[in-house]
Each structure stands twice: as structure tokens, then as C-alpha cells.
């Protein structure tokens, strides 16, 4: 009899503990949480407010899961991916391309912004280079010798798209602009700086000026967007071309079923009758981001000699890294020989002019920036650096941005390479 009851019990378990029933049971015992990083270009609270409806929509659409919005910056996003604090990421296209190269992100859908009722959904966006209308500045050439504010050298809509427009006019904003100021997030602060006359011009993603005007914070009549052009079906003022909107990406290692469910839920926002109450954006099938990759590659190779820029741009980047490594090895070897012999370096082989320029940039760093640079070169993350120095992670990120700006390094990786090459990773005194 006991044996019979045992067989019946096992049979019941076999029926009850199917994957489907386990999944249903999860909804009663508590949902699993998936974290969605979002680039907070208007600040943390604004990001939470903007994207909370999406988390609610996904909560409603996918049983057994709840979704949490995690605001990130251009710097902290990579750190959170590395420490496995995110499952998904929504960010600008240029940031996605850079992170995808490091972490292998996959695009599930492309953002489709809701515009005015008479306008179509917006699948593309651009940049806005703007000035006060009363400033008398009418062209990009008029900005030579002026001051310009942007987000960061690594910001896509907040700098790199505008860099392309300057480049088309044979203007190098790093050299031809009198003062190039990188202010980070939120981008609203850049608009305020131009409005107050603190800088002559600013760069923000297209649509932000219109958003601030709709919030009653500015009047569009007070500003002029330079290099402006009308894009068919695009309602915002824009400088130059349009590029694919932000992608919704999944990190490697995400459970297959969760990735599929999220993709289906996002694309379902396009279905007639879909409950998209509260959503500011819909989601469309992924667009191609090759145009973004082409632009960012050109931007990061802007200082490369023509002979080092072959048809394959990624091969060019590898060639540049190999060249830097070789030059560093030669320099170290010569330095050791000179020290051993006690001889002075020959005057017939002067230091390369480019090397002198690069070293002079590092000489401008403050004491605090040197401390942070040393820690960055040893692989320390912003949170750890902040803890050791007794400052906030936000302050560390501000110094990171300044380090990129002052040294003219395109990325944090290049910053580390240059610092290591010249010995600045060892906490050397760089002058006063």
C-alpha cells in the first residue's frame, strides 16, 4: 500500500512540476527582477520619470518578472555591465556601438518617439548646435574664437554628430574653438549656460530645445540652430543629418526566454489596440546602426595619418594600437640605455613634435586629476575611486570627462594607453 501511495505521489509531482507550472508558481512566490539601464542625459530623476511607464508596461506584459529602471551615465554604464548589475540597456547609438565592441550587446528594438499627433513616429534623431538669436552668430565659421559647451567627447548627439558638421566645414572644434567646455549631464544645463551668456554656443541632442519650450522653461524664439536644415517628417530643429534612434539592447548571457519575451513585448507596442497607456515611446524592429559605426570610427581616427587608415577602419584602430605599443617599447629601451650609460639624449634626434604636444596636455592636469588618472590606469572603477578619495562617484565621473578633454584622448582606453606610454600611470609629478 505504501508503495502504491508513493507511485501516486510521484505521478502528481510529475504533472505539477512542469516548467509552465513552475513559471506560474513564480508569480505567486515573487517575481524575478530585470534591471534596465537608461542613459540619463537629462539627469537621474528625469530618467526615472521618463522610463517608469516602460517598466510598468513590461511588468504587465511578462509574467514572473518585474523591471527596474537604473539611470546610468556614459561612464557608469560600462562599469555596471562589467559588474553584472544590468540585464538590458537603453542608450544613444554611439554609446551602444562603443559598448557593443567591448561587451557584445544585441539590439532587440529601436525606439520610436511619439511626436505631435499630425507627425509620424520618429525613428531617427540628430544634433542641435545653437546660439542666442541676439548673439549675431549665423554660421559655424562664426564660432571660431568663441566658446562652445557640449556633453562629452564621447557623447553622440551631444558632441560627435556636431563634430561631423564642423568637420564638413573644415573646422576642428578641438583647435579652432577658443573654449570647448564639456559639461556632462544633464543637457539642460548646456541650454541654461547659453541662455545666461556663460558660453556663446551649445550642443544638445535634437528635440531637447523643443522639450524645454513645451515645459515653459525657454522660448524657442530666443535661439538659433546653426547649420539647420529641414528633414522630411521631422518636427524638430536639427543641425545636419539624422541617425537611428536609441536601441533597446540585451546583455550577453541573458536567459533566452526572457530576451524573447521582452522583444515580443516591445514590438507589440506597434499592434493595433495595444495598451500603451503612459508610454512616451513605441518600439520598432531594429534599424541598422552601420551609419553610426562609420561616423564614430571616423571620429576616433580623426588624428590618424592617411596611410594608417585603410578600407577596414577596425583594422586601422588595431594598427594604431600596435604602432603605439612599438613606439612605447622603443622609448623604454632607449631610456634604459641612456640611464645605464649616463649619456644625454642625442640632439640630432629630437623628440617627435606629436609626442611633445601629448605630454604638454598631461602637464595641465591638476593634482586631483593626476590621482584619479593613476587609479584609472590600475583598473579602479568610479565607485572605488570615490571611496578612496572621499568624494562622490559623480565627482569622479566629472574628473574622468575632464581628463579626456584635457588630454584629447578619444576614449578611456586611449587615455590609459597614453598615460602608460609616458609614465604618468605611476603617479609621477607632472609639474605644478
pLDDT tier at 354, thresholds 50, 70, 90: low
Summarize the confidence of residues 330-348 as an average pLDDT.
Answer: 46
In the predicted model, is pLDDT for residue 351 greater than 90? no
Q: Where is average pLDDT lowest: 147-156, 210-219, 326-335?
A: 326-335
pLDDT tier at 316, thresholds 50, 70, 90: very low
Backbone region of residue 112 per phi and psi (left: phi > 0; alpha: psi in -120 to 50; beta: other values): beta
Q: How would you classify the pairing of strands 124-132 and 223-226?
A: antiparallel
pLDDT tier at 110, thresholds 50, 70, 90: very high
Identify the H or E element spanning 248. strand 247-250
pTM for this predicted structure: 0.64
State percent of the chain over pLDDT 70: 75
Which domains are assigned to the chain? 25-119+245-292 (3.40.190.10), 125-243 (3.40.190.10), 351-432 (1.10.10.10)
Q: Where is average pLDDT lowest: 27-36, 248-257, 413-422?
A: 413-422
In the predicted model, is pLDDT for residue 272 greater than 60? yes
pLDDT tier at 6, thresholds 50, 70, 90: very low
- pLDDT, residue 355, reads 67
pLDDT tier at 157, thresholds 50, 70, 90: very high
Per residue in 196-252, pLDDT tens? 999 999 999 999 999 999 999 999 999 999 998 777 778 999 999 999 999 999 999
pLDDT tier at 311, thresholds 50, 70, 90: very low
- pLDDT, residue 116, reads 55
In the predicted model, is pLDDT for residue 141 greater than 90? yes
DSSP 355-412: HHHHHHHHTT--HHHHHHHHHHHTT--HHHHHHHHTS-HHHHHHHHHHHHHHHT-SSH
- pLDDT, residue 20, reads 38
- pLDDT, residue 425, reads 63
Q: Where is average pLDDT lowest: 138-142, 166-170, 218-222, 366-370?
A: 366-370
Burial class (CB in 10 A: 0-12, 13-18, 19+), 241: middle
DSSP 8-state code for residue 220: G
Summarize the confidence of residues 2-15 as an average pLDDT.
Answer: 40
Average pLDDT of every residue of the chain: 81
- pLDDT, residue 393, reads 85
Summarize the confidence of residues 85-102 as an average pLDDT.
Answer: 95
Q: Where is average pLDDT lowest: 89-98, 378-387, 414-423?
A: 414-423
Burial class (CB in 10 A: 0-12, 13-18, 19+), 191: buried
SS3 82: helix
pLDDT tier at 422, thresholds 50, 70, 90: low
For residue 396, which of 411, 408, 409, 385 has the smallest C-alpha distance?
A: 385
Amino acid at each position: 500500500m505504501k508503495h502504491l501511495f508513493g507511485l501516486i505521489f510521484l505521478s502528481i509531482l510529475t504533472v505539477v512540476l512542469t516548467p509552465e507550472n513552475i513559471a506560474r508558481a513564480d508569480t505567486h512566490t515573487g517575481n524575478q527582477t530585470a534591471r534596465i539601464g537608461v542613459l540619463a542625459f537629462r539627469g537621474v530623476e528625469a530618467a526615472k520619470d521618463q522610463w517608469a511607464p516602460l517598466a510598468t508596461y513590461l511588468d504587465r506584459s511578462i509574467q514572473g518578472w518585474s523591471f527596474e529602471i537604473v539611470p546610468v551615465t556614459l561612464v557608469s554604464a560600462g562599469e555596471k555591465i562589467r559588474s553584472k548589475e544590468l540585464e538590458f540597456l537603453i542608450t544613444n547609438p554611439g554609446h551602444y556601438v562603443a559598448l557593443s565592441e567591448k561587451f557584445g550587446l544585441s539590439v532587440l528594438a529601436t525606439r520610436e518617439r511619439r511626436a505631435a499627433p499630425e507627425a509620424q513616429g520618429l525613428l531617427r534623431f540628430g544634433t542641435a548646435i545653437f546660439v542666442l538669436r541676439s548673439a549675431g552668430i549665423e554660421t559655424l565659421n562664426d564660432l571660431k574664437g568663441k566658446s562652445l559647451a557640449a556633453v562629452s567627447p564621447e557623447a553622440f548627439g551631444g558632441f560627435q554628430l556636431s563634430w561631423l558638421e564642423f568637420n564638413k566645414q573644415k573646422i576642428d572644434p578641438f583647435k579652432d574653438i577658443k573654449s570647448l567646455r564639456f559639461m556632462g549631464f544633464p543637457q539642460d544645463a548646456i541650454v541654461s549656460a547659453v541662455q545666461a551668456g556663460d558660453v556663446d554656443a551649445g550642443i544638445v541632442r535634437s528635440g531637447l530645445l523643443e522639450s524645454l519650450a513645451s515645459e515653459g522653461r525657454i522660448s524657442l524664439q530666443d535661439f538659433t540652430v546653426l547649420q539647420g536644415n529641414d528633414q522630411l517628417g521631422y518636427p524638430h530643429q536639427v543641425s545636419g543629418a539624422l541617425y537611428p534612434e536609441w536601441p533597446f539592447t540585451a546583455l550577453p548571457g541573458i536567459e533566452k526566454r526572457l530576451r524573447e519575451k521582452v522583444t515580443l513585448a516591445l514590438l507589440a507596442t506597434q499592434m493595433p489596440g495595444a495598451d500603451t497607456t503612459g508610454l512616451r515611446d513605441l518600439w520598432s524592429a531594429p534599424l541598422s546602426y552601420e551609419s553610426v559605426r562609420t561616423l564614430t570610427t571616423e571620429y576616433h581616427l580623426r588624428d590618424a595619418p592617411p596611410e594608417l587608415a585603410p578600407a577596414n577602419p577596425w583594422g586601422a584602430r588595431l594598427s594604431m594600437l600596435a604602432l603605439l605599443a612599438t613606439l612605447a617599447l622603443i622609448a623604454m629601451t632607449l631610456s634604459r640605455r641612456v640611464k645605464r650609460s649616463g649619456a644625454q639624449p642625442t640632439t640630432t634626434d629630437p623628440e617627435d613634435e606629436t609626442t611633445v604636444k601629448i605630454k604638454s596636455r598631461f602637464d595641465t592636469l591638476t593634482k586631483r586629476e593626476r590621482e584619479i588618472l593613476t587609479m584609472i590606469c590600475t583598473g579602479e572603477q568610479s565607485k572605488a575611486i570615490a571611496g578612496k578619495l572621499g568624494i562622490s562617484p559623480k565627482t569622479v565621473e566629472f574628473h574622468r570627462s575632464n581628463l579626456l578633454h584635457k588630454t584629447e584622448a578619444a576614449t578611456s582606453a586611449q587615455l590609459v594607453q597614453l598615460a602608460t606610454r609616458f609614465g604618468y600611470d605611476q603617479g609621477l609629478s607632472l609639474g605644478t
